[in-house]
Structure 1
Amino acid sequence: MDYQKLSIKSWAVEDRPREKLIAKGITSLSNAELIAILIGSGNRNESAVELSKRILQSVDNNLNELGKQSIEYLQSNFKGIGEAKAISIVAALELGKRRKQSEIRVKPQVNSSNDVYELMHPILADLPHEEFWIITLNRANRVISTNKISQGGISGTVIDTRLIMKTALDQLASSIILCHNHPSGNINPSPQDKTITNKLKEAGKVMDIPVLDHIIVTDNGYYSFSDEGEV
């Protein structure tokens, strides 16, 4: 039996586009395999990958040229490509074009405790309850992401050290900053605030993801553990 005409489900797991993406990452897939994921299935004589290869061959394997083709072109020239599949291909290529045209936003750089306060004040200052967040940073101290970890009541919130470190690891963070609010307006840290800061500081040392600061946000000001020499 011709291997190329087998359905994708009968291929070895590592050769299936979706499974290959999960196992080896998006960059391991060819253009044909990416299109195959979009269309989902081929026709009676071709797998989705083989059909995708033929579509690409029709435009000399040039994605820019494929992006110029119409829904009608795809439907009329390729058996197994109906309106829905043609729309998926056209929409994906248009999205790629728009991504290329979009401006690359420079992520903010954290150089001081005030930078953190300015970043998190709009998120935390007016809340009637406590929330605990972490800011993940790259090697240049630019923000990768702000991440809400937990939400509690007026006087406190539960903090899971494992979840915090997992978030940092998943985002390949070089360092993190802890942040939470005090709805009462009191900027001074509680004994619990100091305990969790020390606990996460030690966990960060073990994971080689240092905790640079812990900021307590209120509507009228903030407390920085780093500025006070406590981190």
Structure 2
Amino acid sequence: MAMVRELPVDERPRERLLALGPGFLSNAELLAIVLRNGSKERSALQLAQDILSLYKDDGVSALGRMTAGELMCLQGIGSAKAAEVMAAVELGKRLNAHIARQRAMVTCPEDAADYAMPRFRYEDREHFAVILLNVKNHILSMPVISVGSLTASVVHPREVFKAAIQQAAASIILVHNHPSGDPTPSKEDIEVTARMVQVGRVMDIPVLDHIILGNDNYISLKEKGVIK
């Protein structure tokens, strides 16, 4: 592949973006613009393709899970380029989170999943959070209650309902991610849900749902009949 500067002007990613808009560029072209230039051996486009091929699944989704160390293992990617990529990815995450906050009312499980997904879908450890709702189902906040290992988080009703009481929540939705990308509930997920529902009834702060997040998908334990 030719170096970017050797391409015709109308084929260079930066010029194509300015002329056509970002929607017309491939993922590799957009990432090449972030990288700005390549190495002696590889063009910015080649480096971008190397980064996107680090994972077997969709490269854009994989970007959110990459670490600086993984990026710097690629030939031509040093600390500066790794930092540029990670900064761009973090800006994307924050933009997604901001957009989600604009739809800050929960009317169905999809609303809750859409709200939480930008925050947790790329985490490499389980995060257990709780969406706190007022009487009109507007979201008050989504505090993280527990951060666990690659496969499990430890959570106690005390921490969950302490957050709800502090913010005078009328009801709550439990949320946690599965770093594997598969949102299928485990036996422990179902047991934790049942325990939280029981405590919620005693506290008069109902648990409306438990959303388990995967990689761009989710499962609602309310819809699965776990929460009656």
| Alignment partner, residue 31 of structure 1 | none
Query: 1:116-127 to 2 correspondence within 5 Å?
Result: 116-127=112-123
Query: 1:28-43 to 2 correspondence within 5 Å?
Result: none
| Alignment partner, residue 132 of structure 2 | 136
Identical amino acids, percent of aligned pairs: 39
1:171 equivalent in alignment to 2:172: no
Provide, for residues 56-101 of structure 1, a one-character-per-residue CA deviation record: whole Å limited to 9, x for no partner. xxxxxxxxxxxxxxxxxxxxxxxxxxxxxxxxxxxxxxxxxxxxxx
Provide, for residues 133-172 of structure 1, a one-character-per-residue CA deviation record: whole Å limited to 9, x for no partner. 0000000000011110010111101101111111111111
Pick the aligned partner of 1:215 from 197, 211, 217. 211
1:156 equivalent in alignment to 2:120: no
| Alignment partner, residue 199 of structure 2 | 203
| Alignment partner, residue 221 of structure 2 | 225
Gapped regions of structure 2 (runs ≥ 5): 1-100
3-state SS in 1 of match to 2:104: coil
3-state SS in 2 of match to 1:157: coil
Runs of 4+ aligned structure 1 residues displaced above 6 Å come to none
Q: Compared with structure 1, are the counterparts of its residues 130 and 202 closer, same or farther at alpha carbon in structure 2 (3 Å cutoff)?
A: same
Contact 1:215 1:225 in 2 (8 A): yes
Contact 1:168 1:176 in 2 (8 A): yes
| Alignment partner, residue 114 of structure 1 | 110
Gapped regions of structure 1 (runs ≥ 5): 1-104
| Alignment partner, residue 181 of structure 2 | 185
Q: Compared with structure 1, are the counterparts of its residues 189 and 206 closer, same or farther at alpha carbon in structure 2 (3 Å cutoff)?
A: same
Q: 1:169, 1:107 → 2: CA distance?
A: 23
TM-score (norm 2): 0.54
Provide, for residues 172-209 of structure 1, a one-character-per-residue CA deviation record: whole Å limited to 9, x for no partner. 11000000000111111000000000000000000000
Q: 2:129, 2:189 → 1: CA distance?
A: 13
3-state SS in 2 of match to 1:226: coil
Q: 2:138, 2:108 → 1: CA distance?
A: 12
- Supply the AA of the counterpart residue of 2:139: V
TM-score (norm 1): 0.53
| Alignment partner, residue 63 of structure 2 | none
- Supply the AA of the counterpart residue of 1:135: I
